[in-house]
Structure 1
Amino acid sequence: MAQTSRGDCSRRSAASWRTGLAAVVIGVALAGHPIDVGAASAPPPPPAKPVPSDSDVAAVGPSSFAFASDPRGAVALAMRPPVLAPLPPGPKPAAPRLTEAELIARAGFQPDQVGFLVHDLETGETVASHNADQAAFIPASVLKVPTAVAARAILGPGHRFRTEVRFEGTRTGPVWNGTLALVGGGDPVLESDDLRRLVATLKAAGLERLDGRFVYDDSALIGAPVIEPTQPPEHAYNPGLSALTLDFNRVRVQWRGDAVDLVKVYGTPVEGVPIRLRRDTDTAGWSRAGPALRHEFAGADARDPGGAVTERWALSPYAPRDGALWLPVKAPAPFVAAVFRAVAAEAGVVLPEPEAAEGPARGVTVAFHRSPRLDVILASGLKHSNNLLAELVGLAATRHLEGRPLALADSAARLETWLAEAMPWVDWTGFHMANHSGLSPASRASPDQLVSILRYAHDQARARGVSPFHALLPDRHFPDPESTVVAAGVRVGSLTPRVAAKSGTVYHGRGLSGIAMGRSGHRLVFAVFTSDVTARQRFDEGYLHYSGRAVSRARAQLGRARDLEHALLLTWISEH
């Protein structure tokens, strides 16, 4: 056995004592209890723990610890892990998708006041549907879509309207003896420069003066003083109808004080036109909240020092001292003939005062003008939502079908029949065209009927090898969603909607129908309507067109309807 000396034992005992004491001290210190050992016999204490500065305290928050002179706080703080900078926030969770029903409610409409249908042209599937088969909606100007589709199929996309000048009589040098007739063909986009070209042709043929009669013939269509009798007749969007039409049958009127005059626009002369204007000084029958103009037709063969008179307009005594507005022409044919006579005078051709033809004009055609192609006319009419253009196109289509002109209501009914015959698989229950433009609160349509019409137009264009119908629809531009209420809740990132569609707007009725490009690249044919039929009935019964409060409410509702359209389209486009 190995021998151990006393010195070795003594040294080992001292070392063990120190080691044990250190372990006890450390253990007690870690437990947070103070210890008292003899100053003479105690080993040196361990190094002092670092005390954090005020800046370190601030980094972890003022309420984390209490310091003062308590060493336990220092020990406890030293034992905590170091404080690290916070991690950056993660991506926000995706906002829950709002359903169509929630969007409708957010826009402030009842479920039965909204209807829509979305059809995927590529897959043939229905993407979204709500009240799609209910023909309870006011289509407004969306009704121009079925009119355009039918007219394009009946007349052809290359159809042109023809305005003629015919002459019956004898020509003796520059003087022609007989009857010169201006014959309207229902051209909806005829301009004064077109009349100038007709005059230039006549002058090139030798005409300088007509001895005889100058007549106008508008028998190709059945005319009317207004498009829609229930709408204000003084509004420029409600002009008269005629086979002779110029500048969309409206003129510019301007007044300063009591002087009321027509203004030359579009290059159309106004000297000699059979329209008279005056400011009324008698307040009887006028209202500050009523229309600014009042119309009346002159009697038969009415004349004044300025010549023949066909219509008179009175300006309200409550109208501002100075102002200007567009005036609808209620008797278009004599107006166009008077302008033709004026542009002839510009070219040095003397014509007598125009008069109405007793029947269809006879004689040989000595000049003619052809309109642009129907597709060009339709694209312009759909973009600018021109009521007169839509009515004349519809009337021309039914005249082609029947071989004779029809009155406006009969013509609209005939197009209804044609649509039903062309698309017998569609449920046409409730569909009604009061006219061809949608300028009537009585018209009705369903989302399914409009989508079916657009699908038919798409298939027909493909079968005939002509440009697609949606190429005629105007591009639809939407406001920044952040500036809206309902659409702002639909998150689509940087997606920009690509939509070509026809909108429709009347007080308490709003619609939009066309084609949209989905995120997948699929084409989505859609129709969405918002109608408050009860409110519209009250509006019409009270004739509230000049009630500031009623109009303000109706406009606010239209704003919410547009917002809802935007939100729905963003939803469909982003998800399909």
Structure 2
Amino acid sequence: MTTTCSRRALLAGLAAGIGSAAFAEAPVIGVRPKARNGALSAEPVKAVGDAVVARAGLKGRVAYAIADAETGQILDARLSEQPMPPASTLKAVTALYALDRLGDDYCFKTDIYVNGEVVEGRLEGDLVLAGRGDPTLDTDRLAELTIALKEAGITTVAGRFLVWSDALPRGDRIAHDQPEHVAYNPAFCGLNLNFNRVHFEWLPKGKEFELTMQAPGLKFRPDTKIARMTIVDRGAPVYDYQRGYNKDLWSVARGSLGKKKGARWLPVRFPALYAGDVFRLLN
């Protein structure tokens, strides 16, 4: 059986599936909750704030201030006179800009493009995974795209599998003054997966270790070949990074692994290839 699969028809189904999934997990931009009927709690705001901190079991000093956005009146404050490093609040400016420019109903999408006909489940052409800047795309949601692809009647691809990430500029890392191995400082582009982090895990096996580099979700834990890890007999550094040909080459000091199972997240420097590799493994 030969099916002519139009680009518009396939994109409508696939993009809609992954787009709505972004809201199924958690909205990228939340709307203001509706006011509830009935009187507000008579419990003092201060008591509520202290109770929240106590329930969270936070250690150290916790300071905050809550103000009325319209009047500027301070409604509650904790340790307001205590000098402390400021929290990372610049993201609030980014959120306000996004609300103004994109709107509160905007949803980032990840698309699939096809070029060719589908003949008995075989795509006689290329398949393209195109990222459009979704910062929350994870392995489980990427798997939803592979399922949608099969539901569209495509089980094999005769042509090339390509990735596109030029919807946003690419950066090798967020800040160049941070350590190489910290997971909060990965590369970024228009196609990002799992916040551009790879999960490194080690398991003692006698005198050696079993190592895995994975892109875990709640349902799937595919290995990835874009990031590699080797054990090296050295004192320092604990982690060392070398940029390979389209892959991240990591090494870890043997003595730092200890004698028990352990794991940590590491940054990804080839995010689009990482997402494409995981997508391929999920199919």
1:211 to partner: Cα distance: 0.6
Q: How far apart in 2 are the matches of 1:238 and 1:249?
A: 9
1:125 to partner: Cα distance: 6.6
Matched, 1:168 2:115: yes
Counterpart of 1:262 in structure 2 is 213
Q: How far apart in 2 are the matches of 1:188 and 1:122?
A: 30
Return the index of the structure with the highest Cα Rg. Answer: 1
2:242 to 291, 296, 302: 296
Q: How far apart in 1 are the matches of 2:142 and 2:72?
A: 49
Deviations 1:159-188 (A, max 9, x none): 100110001123222111111100001111
Amino acid in structure 2 at the alignment position of 1:150: Y
Amino acid in structure 1 at the alignment position of 2:226: P
On the 8 A contact 2:194/2:215 being kept in 1, the answer is: no
What SS does the aligned partner of 1:203 have? helix
Deviations 1:312-344 (A, max 9, x none): 111023413243211121211111101111111
Q: How far apart in 1 are the matches of 2:147 and 2:66?
A: 52
1:138 to partner: Cα distance: 7.2
Query: Whose RCO is larger (CA < 8 A, sep 6+)?
Result: 1
Q: How far apart in 2 are the matches of 1:172 and 1:185?
A: 29
1:124 to partner: Cα distance: 5.9
Counterpart of 2:166 in structure 1 is 219
Deviations 1:12-62 (A, max 9, x none): xxxxxxxxxxxxxxxxxxxxxxxxxxxxxxxxxxxxxxxxxxxxxxxxxxx
On the 8 A contact 1:269/1:339 being kept in 2, the answer is: no
Deviations 1:128-150 (A, max 9, x none): xxxxxxxxx97551111111111
Amino acid in structure 2 at the alignment position of 1:225: D
Deviations 1:36-91 (A, max 9, x none): xxxxxxxxxxxxxxxxxxxxxxxxxxxxxxxxxxxxxxxxxxxxxxxxxxxxxxxx
| C-alpha distance 237-123 of structure 1, shift in aligned 2 (>3 A) | closer
Q: Which runs of 5+ in 1 are unaligned?
A: 1-115, 128-136, 300-308, 345-576
Matched, 1:276 2:213: no
What SS does the aligned partner of 1:319 have? helix
Q: How far apart in 2 are the matches of 1:273 and 1:123?
A: 54
Matched, 1:191 2:138: yes
Matched, 1:336 2:275: yes
Deviations 1:289-318 (A, max 9, x none): xxx32222112xxxxxxxxx5111110234
Q: How far apart in 1 are the matches of 2:265 and 2:200?
A: 6
Amino acid in structure 2 at the alignment position of 1:262: M
| C-alpha distance 208-263 of structure 1, shift in aligned 2 (>3 A) | closer
Counterpart of 1:416 in structure 2 is none
Matched, 1:311 2:248: yes
Q: Structure 1 length normalisation: TM-score?
A: 0.33
Amino acid in structure 2 at the alignment position of 1:205: A
Q: Structure 2 length normalisation: TM-score?
A: 0.65
On the 8 A contact 1:268/1:339 being kept in 2, the answer is: no
Q: How far apart in 1 are the matches of 2:234 and 2:73?
A: 64
Q: Which runs of 5+ in 2 are unaligned?
A: 1-63, 76-83
Amino acid in structure 2 at the alignment position of 1:310: K
How well do the aligned residues superpose, as a CA RMSD in angstroms? 2.8
| C-alpha distance 223-140 of structure 1, shift in aligned 2 (>3 A) | farther
| C-alpha distance 120-224 of structure 1, shift in aligned 2 (>3 A) | closer
1:250 to partner: Cα distance: 1.5
Give identity over the alignment, percent: 31
On the 8 A contact 1:277/1:314 being kept in 2, the answer is: yes
What SS does the aligned partner of 1:165 have? strand
Q: How far apart in 1 are the matches of 2:224 and 2:152?
A: 26
Deviations 1:315-374 (A, max 9, x none): 023413243211121211111101111111xxxxxxxxxxxxxxxxxxxxxxxxxxxxxx
Structure number with higher strand proportion: 2
Q: How far apart in 2 are the matches of 1:268 and 1:312?
A: 24
| C-alpha distance 315-154 of structure 1, shift in aligned 2 (>3 A) | same
Matched, 1:157 2:104: yes
1:214 to partner: Cα distance: 0.3
Amino acid in structure 2 at the alignment position of 1:260: L
On the 8 A contact 2:124/2:157 being kept in 1, the answer is: yes
Q: How far apart in 1 are the matches of 2:120 and 2:145?
A: 19
What SS does the aligned partner of 1:212 have? coil
1:320 to 254, 257, 280: 257
| C-alpha distance 325-211 of structure 1, shift in aligned 2 (>3 A) | same
Counterpart of 1:247 in structure 2 is 194
On the 8 A contact 1:171/1:177 being kept in 2, the answer is: yes
1:126 to partner: Cα distance: 8.6
Deviations 1:219-267 (A, max 9, x none): 1011122111111121111111121111222122122344432256313
Amino acid in structure 2 at the alignment position of 1:326: W
What SS does the aligned partner of 2:222 have? coil
Q: How far apart in 1 are the matches of 2:126 and 2:65?
A: 57
| C-alpha distance 121-320 of structure 1, shift in aligned 2 (>3 A) | closer
Counterpart of 1:29 in structure 2 is none
Amino acid in structure 1 at the alignment position of 2:228: R
| C-alpha distance 141-158 of structure 1, shift in aligned 2 (>3 A) | same
The size of the alignment, in residue pairs, is: 206
